[in-house]
Amino acid sequence: MTLPSASGGFGDKPVLTFPETPIPEDLGVEVLVQGSGDTVSAGDTIEVNYYGQCWGGRMFDNSYDRGSSISFPIGVGAVIGGWDDGLVGKQVGSRVLLSIPPHLGYGPGGMPAAGIRGDDTLVFVVDIIGTSRR
């Protein structure tokens, strides 16, 4: 599976470069920067910065431009499946690239408000800033 590459290091707004290969049908996870902090467990609340782009298309959302991170429960169905499956087990301080097929993203309905179609593969770069246990 060939995944896009991302510029920059932890904390930098990335720029994605897409390969000239078929879009992967399965979840792709690549740790771009290995953190050394606590390991994220299902049920934790994690704090992240993220950049999201449709495969080969446009950026649809990112927290870098807003200048504020987001926090949410992970591994419990509160976010799209690709985030739950791809971020649990990673360490704080890690930068993770996720290639998320439609069935682990927003499904056949997509997210029209964000310009995401039901057949879009989503690519995220996620910087894991922190994790807390309940």
Tokens of 25: 């049908």
The burial of 38, by beta-carbon neighbours within 10 Å (0-12 exposed, 13-18 middle, 19 or more buried), is given as: middle
Domain span at residue 41 reads 25-132
Number of domains in the chain: 1
Give the DSSP letter string of 109-133: T-BGGGTB-TTPPEEEEEEEEEEE-
Spatial distance between the Cα atoms of 99 and 54, rounded to a whole number of angstroms:
9
75 lies in some domain: yes
pLDDT tens readout for residues 37-75: 999 999 999 999 999 999 999 999 999 999 999 999 999
2 lies in some domain: no
CATH number of the domain enclosing 128: 3.10.50.40
pLDDT tens readout for residues 101-134: 999 999 999 999 999 999 999 999 999 999 998 6
**For the whole model, what pTM was predicted?**
0.96
111 lies in some domain: yes
Query: Rounded to the nearest 5 degrees, what angle is found at the Cα of 15, between the Cα atoms of 11 and 16?
Result: 120
